[in-house]
Structure 1
Amino acid sequence: MSEPHAITPDDVARAAGRIRGHVLRTPLVPAPRLSELTGARVLVKHENMQATGAFKERGAVNRLSQLAPDERRRGVVAMSAGNHAQGVAYHAGRMGIPATIVMPATTPLVKVENTRAHGATVLLEGDTLVEAAALVAALVERDGLVLVHPYDDPAVMAGQGTIALEMLADAPDLDAVVVPIGGGGLMAGIATAASVRPDLDLYGVQAALYPSFLNALDGGDRPIGGPTLAEGIAVKTVGRLTLPIIRDRVREIVLVDEPQIERAVHDYATLQRSLAEGAGAAGLAALLARPDLFAGRTVGLVLCGGNIDARLLASVMVRELERADRIVSFRMTASDRPGVLGRVAGRLGELGANILEVSHGRLHLDVPAKSVSIDVTIETRGPGHTAEILDTLAAEGLHPRRIGPLGAGATQG
Structure 2
Amino acid sequence: MTAPTPSELTYPDIEAAAARIAGRVRPVTVASAQPGTLAETASPTAATWSSGPAEDPNASGLLFALEFMQYTGTFKARGAQNFIRAHLEAGTFPEAGVTIASGGNAGLACAWAARAAGVPATVFLPANAPEVKVERLRSYGAEVVLTGHEFAEAAAACRDFVASSGALASHAYDHPLIAAGAGTLMTEILAQVPDLDTVVVSVGGGGLFAGVATAATYHGVRTVAVEPQSCRALNAAIEADEPVDVTVDSVASDSLGARRATPLALSAARSDLVTSVLVSDEAIVGARQHLWDEHRLAVEHAAATALAGVHGSGGYVPAEGEKVCVVLCGANTSLGDL
TM-score by length of 2: 0.83
Identity of aligned residues (%): 34
Task: Confirm or deny that 1:147 pairs with 2:149.
Answer: no
Query: Once the two structures are superposed, what CA deviation does each residue of 1:237-269 show, in whole Å capped at 9, x if it has no partner?
Result: 221333222233652221222221111211111
Q: Specify the alignment match of 2:48 in structure 1.
A: none
- Alignment counterpart, residue 42 of structure 1, candidates 62, 70, 77: 62
Instruction: Give the whole-Å Cα distance in 1 for the aligned partners of 2:154 and 2:260.
Output: 13
Greater than 4 Å deviation, 4+ residue runs: 33-36, 104-110, 124-131, 220-223
Instruction: Give the whole-Å Cα distance in 1 for the aligned partners of 2:149 and 2:327.
Output: 27
Task: Confirm or deny that 1:53 pairs with 2:73.
Answer: yes
Change (3 A) 1:286 1:104: farther
Instruction: Give the whole-Å Cα distance in 2 for the aligned partners of 1:241 and 1:12.
Output: 13
* Secondary structure in 1 matching 2:173: coil
Equivalent pair of 1:180/1:282 in contact (CA under 8 Å) = yes
* Secondary structure in 2 matching 1:177: strand
* Secondary structure in 2 matching 1:226: coil
Bigger relative contact order, structure 1 or 2 (CA pairs below 8 A, ≥6 apart) = 2
Q: Specify the alignment match of 1:386 in structure 2.
A: none
Instruction: Give the whole-Å Cα distance in 1 for the aligned partners of 2:130 and 2:68.
Output: 17
Q: Specify the alignment match of 2:49 in structure 1.
A: none
Instruction: Give the whole-Å Cα distance in 2 for the aligned partners of 1:283 and 1:74.
Output: 38
Change (3 A) 1:126 1:188: farther
Task: Confirm or deny that 1:168 pairs with 2:190.
Answer: yes
Instruction: Give the whole-Å Cα distance in 2 for the aligned partners of 1:205 and 1:126.
Output: 33
Instruction: Give the whole-Å Cα distance in 2 for the aligned partners of 1:174 and 1:106.
Output: 44
Query: Once the two structures are superposed, what CA deviation does each residue of 1:194-235 show, in whole Å capped at 9, x if it has no partner?
Result: 22222x211111122211111111139996123523411111
* Secondary structure in 2 matching 1:73: coil
Instruction: Give the whole-Å Cα distance in 2 for the aligned partners of 1:222 and 1:70.
Output: 33
Return the offset for 1:122.
2.5
Instruction: Give the whole-Å Cα distance in 1 for the aligned partners of 2:269 and 2:132.
Output: 31
Equivalent pair of 1:62/1:155 in contact (CA under 8 Å) = yes
State the number of aligned residues: 309
Task: Confirm or deny that 1:283 pairs with 2:328.
Answer: no
Equivalent pair of 1:89/1:118 in contact (CA under 8 Å) = yes
Change (3 A) 1:53 1:241: same
Change (3 A) 1:295 1:267: farther
Instruction: Give the whole-Å Cα distance in 2 for the aligned partners of 1:222 and 1:7.
Output: 22
**Larger Rg: 1 or 2?**
1
Return the offset for 1:129.
5.1
Q: Which amino acid aligns with 1:279?
A: A
- Alignment counterpart, residue 31 of structure 1, candidates 30, 33, 49: 33
- Alignment counterpart, residue 305 of structure 1, candidates 324, 330, 333: 330
Query: Once the two structures are superposed, what CA deviation does each residue of 1:266-299 show, in whole Å capped at 9, x if it has no partner?
Result: 1111222222101121111112224552264321
Return the offset for 1:94.
1.6
Task: Confirm or deny that 1:264 pairs with 2:266.
Answer: no
Instruction: Give the whole-Å Cα distance in 2 for the aligned partners of 1:104 and 1:211.
Output: 25
Task: Confirm or deny that 1:188 pairs with 2:210.
Answer: yes
Q: Specify the alignment match of 2:10 in structure 1.
A: 8
TM-score by length of 1: 0.68
CA RMSD of aligned residues (A): 2.6
* Secondary structure in 2 matching 1:66: helix
- More deviation, 27-36/261-270: 27-36
Instruction: Give the whole-Å Cα distance in 2 for the aligned partners of 1:109 and 1:257.
Output: 31
Q: Specify the alignment match of 1:18 in structure 2.
A: 20
Change (3 A) 1:218 1:109: farther
Q: Which amino acid aligns with 1:301?
A: V
Query: Once the two structures are superposed, what CA deviation does each residue of 1:177-205 show, in whole Å capped at 9, x if it has no partner?
Result: 1111111011111111122222x211111
Q: Specify the alignment match of 1:71 in structure 2.
A: 93
Q: Which amino acid aligns with 2:93?
A: E
* Secondary structure in 1 matching 2:290: helix
Instruction: Give the whole-Å Cα distance in 2 for the aligned partners of 1:304 and 1:128.
Output: 26
- More deviation, 156-165/239-248: 239-248
Change (3 A) 1:180 1:292: closer
Return the offset for 1:58.
0.6
Q: Which amino acid aligns with 1:9?
A: Y
- Alignment counterpart, residue 293 of structure 1, candidates 309, 313, 317: 317
- More deviation, 232-241/243-252: 243-252
Equivalent pair of 1:228/1:234 in contact (CA under 8 Å) = no
Q: Specify the alignment match of 1:233 in structure 2.
A: 256
Change (3 A) 1:27 1:128: farther
Higher strand share: 1
Instruction: Give the whole-Å Cα distance in 1 for the aligned partners of 2:276 and 2:103.
Output: 22
Task: Confirm or deny that 1:203 pairs with 2:205.
Answer: no
Q: Which amino acid aligns with 2:257?
A: A
Task: For structure 2, list consecutive stretches of 5 or more residues without a partner in the other structure.
Answer: 1-5, 36-42, 45-54
Task: For structure 1, list consecutive stretches of 5 or more residues without a partner in the other structure.
Answer: 318-413
* Secondary structure in 2 matching 1:134: helix
- Matches for 1:89-108 after TM superposition, within 5 Å: 89-103=111-125
Instruction: Give the whole-Å Cα distance in 1 for the aligned partners of 2:334 and 2:63.
Output: 25
